[in-house]
Structure 1
Amino acid sequence: MGGLRLALTLFTVAPVRADRFDRATARVAMVLAPVVGGLLGLVLGLLGWALATLGASPLLTAALLVGAAVLLTRALHVDGLADVADGLGSYAPPARALEIMKKPDIGPFGVAAIVLVLLVDAAALSAVVADTSDLSVVALVVIAFAAGRLAATVACRRGLPAARPEGLGALVAETVPLPLVVVAALVIAGFAVLADPVRGPVAVGVAVIVAWGLTAHARRRFGGLTGDVVGAAVELSTMAALVVLATG
């Protein structure tokens, strides 16, 4: 239960207070991240279905869902995306890049990253809503957000150290054994088949590839994992999953 509370605290605005912050609890929280993402997707999917049923256009529905997603996550992952974009865009050495990422302000790379990702999210969600006329849209949104939070599980795999000795990255880095990452991905992909036999598992697979690629690049550029990198991986993987679900 401590791991579940921590996962809800890190990935949603649910009024739940985490009471444990050790690495064992962090391991459970990172493994449960896709489950929490699925619950978030369920709320958003039902909201999208309700808006579409009331006659809202696909574009308006998608824009409201993107806004709701940011609010329901306290914009925490969007902030991480901006910080990572600024760090990568600086082309500075690892120590200097980490300093840039810790600054409270957002640079041009960060702003551009937020605008681009949210724009693509809205466009993809608009296509999903427009192409799906019944409650199956809820299942697709659930899969997208579960796949996006699976990125946190991937990011915390063994072999990817923390870039700093303190902070969220140090708490969660290397907490999830690789076999457990594989099992989590297969379980989410299995559920995705029920939502869409083709696009569902492909969306999960693409999300994993994006998360793995970003975190591997973060190790080369920053020396390892930070909380911001986890947030950026979540946002980019969610976007990638939505793009896949919006095609075909």
Structure 2
Amino acid sequence: MNLHIFSATLSFLTRLGRPRILAEGEFARTLAWFPLVGLAVGLLAAAPGAFGLFSAYPLLLGWLAVGLSLWFTRGLHADGLADVADAWGSGAVGERFWTIMKDSRAGPFGVLGLVMGLGGQVLAFGELARQGRFGAIAWCFVLGRALSVMALAANRRRVRPGLSSLFAPGATAWVAGCVGAQAVAAGLLLDGWRPVIIAVPLCGVLLWRMSALSRKQCGFNGDFMGAAIMAGELLGALAALA
């Protein structure tokens, strides 16, 4: 185990690690640690409910889990979801699509994406909290980060200059399989086999649609990875409830 790389991953993806600047070659080596970082975020997000705080108010626990996850990750992935939703919803093609995605202003489709994505997480995590399934909540954050690595691996030939291009050399088939195995193992350990069985095809559909969008727009970037994380978290919760 390379704890130095885990520390670097924690530092980049969350507030939990010691602030540091990653060397360019370190980014690619962090991908295999994404699920473990997700586990750390998930356990902390689910902790208030697991320890009995607000136990009579499950929706409040769902809101708190989402709020904590956004704070721990600095809202990094939510920004990616909003950017992809804005560009996709606009119907633009080619460079216009990428111009909309990189615009720092939130458009209507970005707002809708955040409302639906984060609102869905609040409701789903709240219901899981009502059922006392805090392990399932933690697992969702593992699944989301594994899904982002698999999305990058599936589209690494189309990465655009920027953050995703720094990660891309490490997005091999072996690493994608490794993070997928970690997500499956975490799901089995934290909430049993049923959610895992349901989540696999749901995640497959999401990867297929994201790859289709990437091919249509001839590119893939870090916003796609952030959107995959947020969508994966929601899909994990829906699979657990289904």
Question: Scaled by the length of structure 2, what TM-score is found?
Answer: 0.89
Q: Which moved more, 1:108-117 or 1:197-206?
A: 197-206
Q: Does 1:38 align with 2:39?
A: yes
Q: 1: distance between equivalents of 2:21 and 2:75?
A: 22
Structure 2, unpaired ranges of 5+: none
Report deviation, 1:116: 0.3
Shift of 1:203: 5.6
Runs of 4+ in 1 over 6 A off after TM superposition: none
Cα drift, residue 147 of structure 1: 0.5
- 8 Å contact kept, 2:32–2:178: no
| Percent pairwise identity | 26
Q: Unaligned regions of 5+ residues in structure 1, if any?
A: none
Q: Deviations over 1:17-49 (max 9, x none)?
A: 3443324x2222111111100011111121222
How many angstroms apart in 2 are the aligned matches of 1:89 and 1:158?
Answer: 22
Of 190, 193, 199, which residue of structure 2 is paired with 1:198? Answer: 193
CA contact (8 A) 1:3 1:29 kept: yes
Q: What count of residue pairs does the alignment treat as equivalent?
A: 240
Q: Which residue pairs with 2:140 in the alignment?
A: 144
Matched, 1:239 2:234: yes
Partners of 1:186 and 1:106 lie apart in 2 by 35
How far apart in 2 are the matches of 1:191 and 1:12?
20
Query: Per-residue displacement from partner, 1:55-75 (whole Å, max 9, x unpaired)?
Result: 441111111111111111111
One-letter amino acid of the counterpart of residue 142, structure 1: A
**CA–CA separation in structure 2 for the residues paired with 1:82 and 1:67:** 16
Q: RMSD between aligned alpha carbons? A: 2.1
Q: Which amino acid aligns with 2:229?
A: V
When structure 1 is superposed on structure 2, of 53-62 and 102-111 the one drifting more is: 53-62
Report the AA paired with residue 139 of structure 1.
Answer: G
Does residue 55 of structure 2 align to residue 17 of structure 1? no
For residues 89-100 of structure 1, the aligned pairs below 5 Å read 89-100=89-100
CA contact (8 A) 1:190 1:201 kept: no
- Secondary structure at the counterpart of residue 124 of structure 1: helix
